[in-house]
Amino acid sequence: MLAKVLSCAVVGLEGAIVEVEVDISAGLPAFTIVGLPDTAVQEARERVRAAIKNSGLTFPMKRITVNLAPADLKKEGPAYDLPMAVGILLSSEQVFADASRMLFLGELSLDGSLRHTHGILPMVALAKESGFNTAFIPASDAREASLVQGLNTIPLKSLAELASHLRGEKAIPSCGADVAIEDMIVRRSAAIDIAYVKGQEHVKRALEVAAAGGHNVIMSGPPGSGKTMLARSMPSILPNMTMAEALEVTKVYSVSGLLPQDTPLMMQRPFRSPHYTISHAGLVGGGRWPRPGEISLSHRGVLFLDELPEFGHAVLEVLRQPVEDKVVTISRAQGSVTFPANFMLIGAMNPCPCGYYGDPVKECTCAPGTISRYQKRVSGPLLDRIDIFVQVPRIDYEKLADDRLGEESEKVRSRVEEARSIQRERFQSTHLTCNAEMTPVEVREVCHVEPDAQSLLRTAMNQLVLSARAFHRVLKLSRTIADLAHAETIAASHLAEALQYRPRTLF
């Protein structure tokens, strides 16, 4: 007899419905899976067989054929264990159900219990969009699944439990119906409060501007001046995410299998700081079946590249396209997937290999050639994509010994939030969220420079030899500075501050 059960695959960040057809016919006992399954799906045979037996059900000693359709979509991972098991139970008439509007997801263990499965959020979201009425998922993923409201989501601990539910013996209550999304939000941040960073007021200001408009930053300075510390305090001054942003980020973490079990919804902006030995694929994403890389894991948050020149040249160059496009497309023989990559890039570096070039106290011991070679490791095109360059000088004893704390992150963040709300209003009819995302079209529409600032802009263009991209970046940055000051148009003072963040001699 033939049974049809529906399940789901994840392609990139989106779900795709997969039909699991199970046919049981007379013949020598065999269990075949067809329809482009990968190794983990092939291994499902052993898990499904053991799980059915160990749940007190009967594994039919007949010829079993499982077809996963559509055949051209590669099926990977163990999420098809449950639908196959259900298909076998339906087809061998051990349970009866109308499975046409039900979705089954989950990996089985040999004793018949269900395990955590990656990508539950995008799959359950697809189930709702496609008009399913029930989704059966592993109980450990119940909180994640209940982010999608308006769908009857049934958490399963074991296959035996599902069988008695389908037979109508013992109904399992659906999850999440009574839990409001707001109750599931875990707001905690491990970031250092910016108040603990002594001195460096101009760097804090630069970071505030960067947070307000989503601009990229590079900090340069001698060892121990606080660059890493400042960057790590960044999450504490970034604006809160909207629910839509949080869901986007949660999807990325869900398909990467990085969603913490106790945090169904990512409400903190991500802060990723990969080590400089990271590979190409680790940074932009990749693998035979592409997975999001660090740039997608920092979507809507911060990608912090500490010791920037130490990153391989090729690794930094691949950042050029996603920094501009805010998405990354990974092509493979089997097809291509696109992941979001709308992140803020923060880089930290020493000005030279010994670290003290330009330091007023300690002498630099590097040969002149070494310094320029070191700085050239960060290429011109990448630098052209950076809005803010800031020097982080050594901090003197008086400031360091001062016991008074600086301004707290909470206060800085409230100013950032105000500037962001101006931007949200400005871009409400577009898909943009902050000034840094503006294209030349929006720059022309919203970056109005006051007449007396025009001449300053002209002089700066000529003297600093700005590229067209840098010119637009200066305007976007000035717009953010004006937003922080609640100004309608860009005044000379806003423009002057933005120009001050252009690279100087050190670059």
Ligand X SMILES: Nc1ncnc2c1ncn2[C@@H]1O[C@H](COP(=O)(O)OP(=O)(O)OP(=O)(O)O)[C@@H](O)[C@H]1O
Residues that bind ligand X (CB under 6 A): 197-200, 221, 223-229, 348, 350, 395
Between 220 and 435, name the residue whose CB sits nearer to Mg ion: 220
Q: How far is the CB of 355 from Mg ion (least distance, A)?
A: 10
Nearest distance from C-beta of residue 360 to ligand X, angstroms: 16
CB 81 within 8 Å of CB 121: no
Cα–Cα distance between 339 and 302 in angstroms, integer?
16
**Residue 140 binds Mg ion (CB under 5 A):** no
Q: How far is the CB of 198 from ligand X (least distance, A)?
A: 4
Query: Could you count the other beta carbons within 10 Å of the beta carbon of residue 315?
Result: 18
Q: Is 342 in the site for Mg ion (CB under 5 A)?
A: no
Enclosing H/E stretch for 10: strand 2-11
Q: Which residues contact 430 (CB under 8 A, 6 or more apart)?
A: 442
The site map against Mg ion for 414-443 (x = CB under 5 A) is ------------------------------
- 200 or 256: whose CB is closer to ligand X? 200
Longest dimension (CA), the chain: 89
Q: Please, where are the H alpha helices in 309-386?
A: 313-317, 320-325, 368-376, 380-384
What residue spans of 353-439 are helical by DSSP H?
Answer: 368-376, 380-384, 397-401, 409-426
Sequence-separated (6 or more) residues with CB below 8 Å from residue 488: 448, 482
In angstroms, the CA 162 to CA 166 distance is: 6
Q: How far is the CB of 436 from ligand X (least distance, A)?
A: 24
Q: Residue 7 or 228: which CB sits closer to ligand X? A: 228
Tokens 């994840």 map to which residue? 10
Q: Which two tokens stand for residue 124?
A: 């359950």
**Are residues 88 and 22 in contact, defined by beta-carbon separation less than 8 angstroms?**
yes
Please report how close the Cβ of residue 310 comes to Mg ion at its closest, in angstroms. 11
176 binds, options ligand X, Mg ion, none, Cβ within 5 to 8 A by partner type: none
Residue whose beta carbon is closest to ligand X: 226
Shortest approach of ligand X to residue 316 CB, angstroms?
A: 18
Closer residue to ligand X, CB minimum distance, 146 or 220: 220
Of residues 176 and 406, the one with the C-beta less far from ligand X: 406
Vertex 384 angle, CA 246 and 506, to 5°: 115
Cβ nearer to ligand X, comparing 4 with 205 = 205
Nearer to ligand X, 57 or 231 (CB): 231
Contact flag: residue 228 with Mg ion (CB under 5 A):
yes
Q: Taking CB within 5 to 8 Å according to partner kind, which of Mg ion, ligand X, none is near residue 198?
A: ligand X
State yes or no: residue 220 binds Mg ion (CB under 5 A): no
Which residues 19-58 are close enough to bind Mg ion by CB under 5 A? none
Site residues (vs Mg ion, CB under 5 A): 228
